[in-house]
Amino acid sequence: MKAIERLSVIQQKSQINKNWKHKELFRILRKDDIWIIAYKNIKSNNKNLTSLISNEIFNKINLKILQQLREKVITESYQFKAVNEIQIAKLNCQTESFKLQILNDQIVQEVIRIILEAIYEPDFSKQNFGFCQNLGPHDALEYIESKFHKVDWVIKSDIKITNSSINNKKLCQILKKKIQDVRFINLICKLIKCYSLEQSKYSNLNSNIFQINIVSSILANIYYNEFDQWVQKRLKMIKKSIIIQQNQKQLSEQIIKIREKLKKLNKNSENYEFFFKKWKILKKQKIKNLNKHIQIEYVRYTNDWIIGISGDKFLANQLEVEIIHFLEVRLKQKIHFIKTNITDLRSGKVNFLGYEIYLTRNQNNNSCPQLRFDIPMDSVLKKMEEKGYIKKLIKGHRSISKVNYTTFEDIVILKHFSQVCIRLENYYSGCTNLGKLQYIQYLLYISCAMTLSHRHRSSIKKIFEKHGKTLTVSNGKVKVSFPYRTKWSRMKKKWQNNRKFVDLF
């Protein structure tokens, strides 16, 4: 049986029985086809490679080299070897260390990822939108817009991000629940010890050094899937207990009233049968109506999550304590207690995935209220100030020249500012108030013009006269212009689903 056929069998068993124990996974590594697939996947996805791995190195790899790599892994003699850490100069005149991966390590990682995906993908929660294929932050936000508009309270907490927010020992314990192959577990443990599970990206103007830990996304989902499963079970139990309590209370009141009427009537009379049938109808109708009022929703994106509850705040407080206890004791996570709070959407705002989410107060009596998604201007403007685009004044902000870009060519400056503007416009395309997005674009627009004027020691007026309203710059081969937008009223709020977003700045 080929490796692909074996993986399809593993996936089917995981779908049928979520508690299935997978054994002898190391046999899959003996097949050539899985190594060829892993090699092709990495070659086709340039984002997994650094600029230091050239196409010549890739072209030299053949089946014989892959078989030699496979034999080292099977005999458990393979060791993950990261290239020595190098210091990469950043644009803010600082340096950061970067641990490079060798090509063999990336191929082995891809093989591990393929196997883990077959085992765990059927078990992942539908409320998880992070590190999933064809899903991005806008998918999570759209789900919130459709499900959270009737909730009263939102529980939100932030996990402290350290060098690695995932506890390696706890991760190995979670893997052992479904994987009973010691050699395969040992291979993953070797990988975890060598590389951090955090993603890394470093870029400069001339070349991008982009490297991602291939297996980190699937391992992070496996780790936080424990939290997903616990939350879903707990919410079902809470919802069921609330329904039972409310039904018992309401039904008991109905039974008392109808019994009093039935005592006064003769069993053989028509009125007795009428009230008896009416009691049954009211009982069914009351259960349906009560079920509609109870709503508890949950969404997670990587290690960021929110829970929405309609009902009493006491229930939200109780659930908050249970969640913090689970994350700290079971998953060994460090929680920001100051940033852990319960918010009323009609009197406060919840920050989630770079948006401020809230309900307007005049929608209290609305049968179908709509959530508002606004740009957190304070945090965005603070980030722009740190990056050198704007300067804070006593009242408001003003654009400034981005000094560390004045030594670069005009086309490089325009490319940078246009990319930042497009990324911000794409990510905040779901915002309710487009005026805030327009203000951010205007600040970047003037900052770009000021950077060009600083470079040429000229005035902004002369820059606009030379390059036009869109600041168009050409080097003979490429023409770049600032994505200046004048008619914001035509731009409608929309979510860009199935899209992975990069850093905004």
Per residue in 11-48, pLDDT (tens digit) is 888 888 888 888 888 888 888 888 888 888 887 775 44
Q: Which of 100-104, 265-269, 293-297, 497-501 has the lowest mean pLDDT?
A: 265-269
Give CA–CA dist 337/300, Å, rounded: 19
Query: Coil, strand, or helix at residue 356?
Result: strand
Per residue in 459-490, pLDDT (tens digit) is 999 999 999 999 998 888 888 999 988 777 66
Do 32 and 171 belong to one domain? yes
Q: What is the DSSP letter of 157?
A: E
Do 368 and 386 belong to one domain? no
Torsion sign across C-alpha atoms 325, 327, 331, 337: negative
What residue type is assigned to position 26 of the chain? F
Q: What is the pLDDT of residue 362?
A: 63
The DSSP-derived string for 392-435 is: E-SSSEEE---GGGTTS-HHHHHHHHHHHHHHHHHHGGG-S-HH
Decide if 136 is inside a domain: no
What residue type is assigned to position 242 of the chain? I
| Mean pLDDT, residues 161-183 | 81
Of 374, 393, 408, the residue at which a domain comes to its end is 374
Share of the chain above pLDDT 90, in %: 28
* Residue 51 confidence class, pLDDT cut points 50, 70, 90: very low
Do 171 and 36 belong to one domain? yes
The DSSP-derived string for 298-316 is: EEEETTEEEEEEES-HHHH
Furthest-apart CA pair in the chain: how many Å?
103
Do 419 and 357 belong to one domain? no
* Residue 273 confidence class, pLDDT cut points 50, 70, 90: low
State how many domains the chain has.
3
Decide if 107 is inside a domain: yes
Instruction: Answer yes or no: is pLDDT of 54 > 50.
Output: no
Beta bridge partners of 305: 157, 300
Q: Which of 293, 348, 358, 323 is nearest to 144 (CA)?
A: 358
Decide if 213 is inside a domain: no
Do 421 and 274 belong to one domain? no
Q: What is the residue-averaged pLDDT of the chain?
A: 79
Q: Strands, DSSP E only, in 175-249?
A: 200-203, 208-211
- The first and second tokens of residue 235, run together, are 């919410």
Decide if 100 is inside a domain: yes
Write the CB contacts of 156 (distance below 8 Å, at least 6 apart in sequence). Answer: 305, 306, 307, 339, 340, 341, 343, 350, 351, 352
Give CA–CA dist 69/125, Å, rounded: 35
Decide if 25 is inside a domain: yes
Do 324 and 384 belong to one domain? no
Beta bridge partners of 344: 153
Q: Which of 71-75, 231-235, 236-240 has the lowest mean pLDDT?
A: 236-240
> Which phi and psi (to 5°) does residue 80 adopt?
-70, 130
Decide if 351 is inside a domain: yes
Of 326, 351, 374, the residue at which a domain comes to its end is 374
Give CA–CA dist 284/106, Å, rounded: 59
| Mean pLDDT, residues 286-309 | 75
Q: What is the DSSP letter of 492?
A: P
Of 324, 339, 374, the residue at which a domain comes to its end is 374
Domain carrying residue 345: 226-374
Do 233 and 351 belong to one domain? yes
Q: Which of 402, 397, 399, 389 is nearest to 454 (CA)?
A: 402
User: Given 3-state DSSP classes, what are the helix, strand and coil percentages for the chain, each rounded to the nearest 5?
Assistant: 55, 15, 35
Do 248 and 296 belong to one domain? yes
Do 322 and 382 belong to one domain? no
Do 180 and 266 belong to one domain? no
Decide if 214 is inside a domain: no
Distances in Å between the Cα of 76 and the Cα atoms of 171, 173, 186 are 21, 21, 9
Q: Which of 467, 417, 464, 416 is nearest to 440 (CA)?
A: 417
* Residue 443 confidence class, pLDDT cut points 50, 70, 90: very high
Give CA–CA dist 225/211, Å, rounded: 25
CB 186 within 8 A of CB 112: no
Give CA–CA dist 299/308, Å, rounded: 9
Q: What is the pLDDT of residue 207?
A: 34
Do 53 and 186 belong to one domain? yes
- The first and second tokens of residue 325, run together, are 């206890």
Decide if 446 is inside a domain: yes
Give CA–CA dist 399/122, Å, rounded: 50
Residue 304: how many other CB atoms lie within 10 Å: 18
β-bridge pairing 479-480 and 473-474: antiparallel
Over its C-alpha atoms, the chain yields an Rg (Å, rounded) of 29
Write the CB contacts of 467 (distance below 8 Å, at least 6 apart in sequence). Answer: 452, 473
Torsion sign across C-alpha atoms 166, 208, 140, 498: negative
Do 179 and 280 belong to one domain? no
